[in-house]
Amino acid sequence: MRRITYILIFGVLLTSCEDVVDVDLPTEESKLIFEGVLRYNNDIPRENRIRVSTTGSFFGTIEPETLGDAQLLNDTQGGLPGFYVQDPERPGDYIPGSDGMPIDDFLLITGEFNPDDLLVLTFFYLDELYLAFASYVKAPEITSVTQGTEVLFDEDETEIIISFDDPEDEKNYYVISYGNGEFVALEDEFFNGQSYSFSYFSSQDLNTGDEIEINLWGVDEVFYNYYLKLIEQSEMGENTLFQTPVSTVRGNILKVEDIDNIDLFNNVGRPQEFVLGYFAVVQEHTKTLIIQ
């Protein structure tokens, strides 16, 4: 009899959980997300690919989006622009092509860019013009990647030590990728012109034999500051459940409809009309670490 009573009470509790509760969730205008970091890697050619989507609602998804007349122009050298078309196998991705068809010969970035050239990206979205500038930034080669034995906060961390030679007599900025969304942004204020080793403590769940691809990018100061803000938001946990699923750090892609002077390209008077994400052209060097 006691057992039956328990079952009846448990059934009542389950029934009470079926009540519908209306919750007013915050709404936010959908924003375009643009992923456009083009990487020249001499050892592992990367794809000339950009990806676009839009922020979804709280219970929604991030949906791929359609761009019009996406093109990349070398404003310094002149010549014909390179056009992007939608990848038929990956909606929301854009790759080199013409007349709506991809051109496979141009998919991989096999030639190095000139750091003195100004690259201009333009595209239309919802019949409005967007634009971004970038210049190619070189990076030194990685001299070594090793696994250390120290810990910072947690004994489950893995110390990864990357070494490279910083060029002298110039200001340099870097972004290091450790995979799985782990990034570090560095400037050479305290190691200009020196051989430098940097320790990073990864929180990834790594086991013996796992491989980690370490990538070193050369970036400019603006991109460096952008990544610092992204990392800061991530560490502070500012992207909570009731916010859009991506950071709201301002990138370098802005709406340029009705702007008369392109040299004053700063979206004055329209601070909310910008795209999430960034357009950059970087040199990348890569080494793989096998976890011991």
> Is the confidence at residue 20, as pLDDT, over 60?
no
Confidence of residue 276 (pLDDT cuts 50, 70, 90): confident
Confidence of residue 269 (pLDDT cuts 50, 70, 90): low
Residue of higher predicted confidence among 52 and 14: 52
For the chain, give percent helix, strand, coil, nearest 5. Answer: 15, 40, 45
* 47-78 residue pLDDT tens: 999 999 887 644 455 667 789 899 999 999 88
Model pLDDT, residue 30: 78
Most confident of 127-131, 163-167, 180-184: 163-167
Model pLDDT, residue 138: 98
How confident is the model over 191-211, as a mean pLDDT?
95
* 169-193 residue pLDDT tens: 899 999 999 988 899 999 999 999 9
Model pLDDT, residue 245: 40
How confident is the model over 102-129, as a mean pLDDT?
93
Q: DSSP letter at 263?
A: G
Percentage of residues in the chain with pLDDT exceeding 70? 78
Model pLDDT, residue 153: 82
How confident is the model over 25-40, as a mean pLDDT?
80
Query: Which stretches does DSSP call E strand in the chain?
Result: 32-40, 50-54, 63-64, 68-74, 82-86, 93-98, 101-102, 118-125, 128-135, 142-147, 158-165, 173-177, 183-187, 195-202, 211-219, 250-255, 274-290
174 touches 214 (CB < 8 A): no
Confidence of residue 80 (pLDDT cuts 50, 70, 90): confident
**Collapsing DSSP states into helix, strand and coil, what is residue 7?**
helix
